[in-house]
């Protein structure tokens, strides 16, 4: 093969790579836009809630494991201390120009505080009170930096972002893994159960949360309390809800249980101590889309603040929960009035 022929082959291969990248971006653009299958929703009625504001935003899903092992889910952090909501968002101008950002919205007004571009499309994400942590695929390191018995060498990029400014605090590369099965964050420690796909290798890593320096493995622990979701399931069944109609995960702040139901497009709140229905928010439009949308609906309750992300209309709603002990709710499928304050 002559030099000219080699150059021609090289240019053809480069062109094919560019076309492949554009094709993948087109597929991603089409897939993301298919998710907006419902017109913008409005709140139809509220009981024990005050509506604050809503905005349309495309939340980007975390592709890899959280501390509980959840995959393919919407991460949303309600930071009441700093009055903000933080979540990954996808900005799509067209199928070529798009970006993934870590975004902060003012909890009281909905105004954008900051956007931090993320150089990753598949990642795990978690946080403590001071920083957001993201684990994504890193550059391919030299084989000498990985375990001696491996034929391929992979790495993960582990990055930390300041929760106030969104600026990157530190970033480090970890060999022998390219993603995390579990990402668990404490006040001072970040622990990861990592995996490398091509070499089928797994390892455990702990880092100092403040500096990113590697430390002896500290185990898998979360800074946030885990609640008994089997007890939650038992409660909602006793109240007459159909588990197959639940569109979101069960979310609790310790006492109150929050979840969405599809058929009536409603956010419900149950007092787990009584247990009684103590609040609801009904949205207009058709029933919530289900199926692969399950993990894309998100609820974040902290104190009396509640943020809801609706996947089918790609909207963020913020509300204030105002529970009143005197209010008694009927069962969800009862023909009686939902709220009877005289009882």
Question: Which tokens hold the place of 299?
Answer: 């609820």
Same domain, 87 and 150: yes
- Give residue 337's pLDDT band: very low, low, confident or very high (50, 70, 90): very low
Domain boundary among the residues 215, 246, 261 is at: 215
Same domain, 19 and 146: no
Same domain, 209 and 68: yes
What is the tens place of the pLDDT at every residue in 155-195?
889 999 999 999 999 999 988 888 888 899 999 999 998 88
Residue whose structure tokens are 């992979």: 154
For residue 78, count other CB atoms closer than 10 A to its CB. Answer: 19
**pTM: predicted TM-score of the whole model, two decimal places:** 0.79
| Domain assignment present for 88 | yes
Same domain, 5 and 146: no
Same domain, 24 and 69: no
What is the tens place of the pLDDT at every residue in 202-217?
789 999 999 999 999 9
| Domain assignment present for 312 | no
| Domain assignment present for 49 | no
Total number of domains in the chain:
2
Same domain, 148 and 66: yes
| Domain assignment present for 89 | yes
Same domain, 90 and 168: yes
**Of residues 126, 54, 37, the one with CA closest to residue 86:** 126
| Domain assignment present for 169 | yes
| Domain assignment present for 227 | no
In this prediction, residue 339 carries a pLDDT of: 38
Domain range enclosing 1: 1-34
Residue 327 has pLDDT above 60, yes or no: no
Same domain, 19 and 163: no
């Amino acid at each position: 093969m002559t030099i000219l022929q080699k150059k021609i082959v090289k240019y053809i291969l480069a062109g094919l790579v560019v076309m492949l990248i554009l094709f993948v971006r087109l597929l991603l653009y089409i897939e993301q836009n298919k998710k907006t299958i419902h017109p913008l929703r409005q709140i139809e009625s509220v009981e024990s809630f005050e509506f604050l504001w809503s905005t349309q935003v495309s939340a980007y899903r975390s592709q890899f494991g959280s501390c509980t092992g959840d995959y393919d889910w919407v991460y949303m952090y309600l930071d009441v201390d700093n009055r903000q909501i933080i979540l990954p968002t996808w900005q799509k101008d067209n199928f070529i120009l798009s970006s993934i950002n870590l975004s902060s919205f003012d909890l009281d007004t909905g105004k954008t505080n900051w956007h931090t571009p993320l150089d990753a499309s598949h990642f795990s994400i978690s946080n403590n009170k001071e920083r957001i942590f993201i684990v994504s695929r890193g550059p391919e390191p030299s084989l000498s930096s990985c375990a001696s018995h491996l034929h391929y060498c992979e790495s993960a990029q582990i990055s930390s972002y300041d929760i106030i400014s969104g600026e990157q605090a530190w970033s480090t590369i970890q060999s022998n893994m390219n993603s995390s099965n579990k990402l668990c964050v404490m006040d001072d420690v970040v622990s990861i159960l990592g995996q490398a796909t091509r070499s089928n290798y797994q390892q455990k890593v702990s880092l100092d949360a403040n500096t990113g320096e590697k430390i002896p493995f500290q185990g898998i622990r979360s800074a946030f309390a885990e609640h008994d979701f089997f007890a939650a399931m038992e409660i909602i069944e006793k109240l007459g809800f159909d588990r197959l109609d639940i569109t979101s995960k069960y979310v609790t702040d310790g006492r109150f249980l929050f979840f969405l139901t599809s058929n009536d497009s409603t956010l419900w709140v149950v007092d787990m101590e009584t247990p009684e229905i103590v609040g609801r928010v009904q949205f207009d439009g058709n029933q919530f889309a289900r199926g692969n949308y399950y993990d894309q609906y998100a609820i974040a309750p902290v104190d009396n603040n509640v943020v809801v992300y609706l996947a089918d209309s790609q909207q963020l709603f913020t509300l204030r929960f105002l529970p009143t002990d005197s209010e008694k709710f009927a069962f969800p499928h009862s023909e009686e009035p939902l709220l009877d304050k005289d009882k």
